[in-house]
Amino acid sequence: MTDQAPAPYAGPQRVLSGVQPTGDLHLGNYLGALVKFVRLQHEVPTFIFVADLHAITEWQDPARLKDQVREITAAFLAVGLDPKLATIFPQSAVPEHAELAWVLNCVARIGWLDRMTQFKDKAGKHKERASVGLYAYPVLQAADILLYKATHVPVGEDQRQHLELTRDIAQKFNHDFAAPGFFPLPDALTQGPGARVMSLRDGSVKMSKSDPSDNSRINLTDDADAILQKVRKARTDAEVLPEKLEDLAGRAEAQNLVGIYAALSGQTAQQVLHEFAGQGFGAFKPKLADLAVAVMGPIGAEMRRLLADPAEIDRILADGAGRARAIAAPTMAEVRKIVGFWAG
Ligand code: ADP
Ligand code: TRP
């Protein structure tokens, strides 16, 4: 054995990301993930899917699941994903995701999964009662990414650890099966002021679908009134906004609201401070609320319009599934051959 560096991946660049159909999307999903999808679709072939296989790692009502997939798809379209540019599909329509996940389950090590913090957060105190699927969830995520040989994965900061794991799995597969450069080692695209949007009620926890307080988040489907109320009630402190970014240190809620303003207006947090330095939240919050209504209001309205015609959504998903399978099936055929399976 020599110690040479493994062959680099030489295939095309591809962007891929997924969102679970487990509840209403919120401002964190929008800024951390969706806006990046929209930008990237113009630059690189982009695959965006609704992760219904991931969703059932926790109980989902079978009678609701298809509608939940349609709702996420409507959100994708409403924020500006163009089904002619991006391939949009339901994960369960491409069975190769589950098939590759099995192979990768045999590559990933239990010690690697034991370190995943999202499992610890989601399983809570009674982890022996969580599904095996919830535990193996990050391996399925690696399969999603590697099935398309995706090179770039736009996600929020909370997904960084899963992307590190995906790189480890890809590297071990390439090495163990003597297939240098077969899978790329994908990069997480987590940059940007919206990479970690925090709860409006508590600046120390992330904005999340699963937070019991609806006031903690702005949903994509909230109307102008709801947005205004939530921003008005957002937790803050009594100080004015400083001139310099460093002086926001230790003020988690203030930092979060300035970050949201920056992300929504396409500015840096420093530029926002230049504009508002010396002003308190009594002045800043109405400006933030107006901006949030201007950006988010039309998205909710467009989602409602799209959901009134589910047949069109289903058509887009069926078309996307066909295009996704055209990439996924050859990769899986190669994997079967590499592993030595019967069916090629
Ligand atoms: P949730 O964590 O609310 O259940 P998902 O897991 O479905 O949402 O996340 C979908 C995408 O949105 C992922 O890329 C995730 O990293 C991103 N995301 C979720 N919450 C936030 C947040 N508070 N800030 C930034 N990005 C987020
Ligand atoms: N785990 C991601 C989340 O909770 C969703 C997801 C599933 C995903 N498969 C993916 C994201 C593949 C990026 C790439 O947000």
Query: For residue range 328-337, what is the model confidence (pLDDT) as tens digits?
Result: 999 999 999 9
Domain match, 188 and 326 both: yes
Asked, for residue 207, whether it belongs to a domain, the answer is no
Q: Give the model's pLDDT for residue 132.
A: 98
Neighbours of 21 (CB within 10 A): 26
Q: Which of 120, 127, 149, 206 is flagged as catalytic?
A: 206
Distance (angstroms) between ligand 1 centre and the Cα of 279 equals 31
Contacts of 246 (CB under 8 A, 6+ apart): none
Q: 51 is in which domain, residue-wise?
A: 15-196+309-339
218: domain CATH number is: 1.10.240.10
Are residues 48 and 189 part of one domain? yes
**Could you read off the pLDDT of 265-286 as tens digits, one per residue?**
999 999 999 999 999 999 999 9
Strand partners, 188: 153
Q: Which of 31, 40, 57, 155 to mutate to test the pocket of ligand 2 (most atoms within 8 A of CB)?
A: 155
Per-residue exposure over 154-183, b if at least 16 CB sit within 10 Å of its own CB, e if not? bbbbbbeebbebbbbbbebbbeebebeebb
Phi-psi region of 263 (alpha: psi -120 to 50; beta: other; left: phi over 0): alpha
CA distances from 148 to 195, 219, 270, 329 (A): 24, 30, 38, 9
Structurally, the chain folds into a number of domains equal to 2
Same domain, 178 and 236: no
Same domain assignment for residues 169 and 259? no
- Please state the pTM of the whole predicted model: 0.95
User: For residue 69, what is the domain's CATH number?
Assistant: 3.40.50.620
Given this model, what pLDDT does residue 4 score? 64
Same domain, 323 and 267: no
Q: Does 75 reside within a domain?
A: yes
- Encode pLDDT of 104-158 as tens digits: 999 999 999 999 999 999 999 899 999 999 999 999 999 999 999 999 999 999 9
If asked whether residues 296 and 321 sit together in one domain, one would say no
Q: Are 279 and 161 in the same domain?
A: no
Task: Provide CB contacts within 8 A for 188, sequence distance 6+.
Answer: 153, 155, 159, 160, 163, 164
CA 335 / ligand 1 centre spacing (Å) = 30
Q: Could you tell me if residue 6 is inside a domain? A: no
Structure confidence at residue 68 (pLDDT): 98
Q: Are residues 94 and 152 in the same domain?
A: yes
Ligand 1 — pocket residues by CB below 6 A? 19-20, 28-29, 32-33, 155-156, 158-159, 194-197, 206-210
Q: Which of left, alpha, beta for 266 (phi over 0: left; psi -120 to 50: alpha)?
A: left
